[in-house]
Copies of this chain bind each other. A is one copy, B any other.
Amino acid sequence: MNVIVMGCGRLGSRIATTLDAEGHHVTVVDNNEAAFKRLPGSFHGERVLGNGMDTSTLERGGIATADAFFALTQGDNRNYFASQMAREVYHVARVLCRVYDPVREEIFRELGLETFSPTSVGAKIMVEMLHKEPAKR
């Protein structure tokens, strides 16, 4: 699968590394060159320096032939905008978008994006942890 990961922060670098290790062709886009240092030496994919909201950057990243696009910058609105471009302009089959704000998440989902909210999921998991017995130390 050809995968583009926009945003090489902790989550982006980890997802890129996982998918690369699974044998997918992964391209990571970030506008800060230092962010690529998060990728391990074993990473076989491409690094594209640029703003993932620019069509020229996305095209250098190979969006025309991408099967999946991950929007993982720190900004919900940037992630939303880039996701919509990937979907509507480039017809990428799978567009997965991180959304911090749970209210925005509902809206983005109604607009047809596949979303992941660390806030909603994190709260659910941590409350469940409290309700369960602690793991043995």
Contacts and interface: CB of A to CB of B under 8 A. Distances in A.
Interface of A: 3, 10-11, 14-15, 18-19, 68, 70, 94, 96, 98, 100-102, 112, 114, 116, 118-123, 125-127, 129-130, 134-135, 137
B68 A130 contact: yes
Interface centre among A68, A101, A114 (most CB of B within 10 A): A114
A111 B70 CA distance: 34
B123 A11 contact: yes
A120 B122 CA distance: 11
Contacts of A129: 96, 114, 116
Contact of A119 (B11, B94, B102): B11
Contacts of A126: 11, 15, 70, 96, 98, 116
Contacts of A122: 11, 98, 116, 118, 121
5 contacts: A10-B102, A14-B119, A96-B129, A114-B135, A118-B118
Given A112-B137, A129-B114, A123 B68 contact: no
Contact of A114 (B100, B101, B118, B134): B134
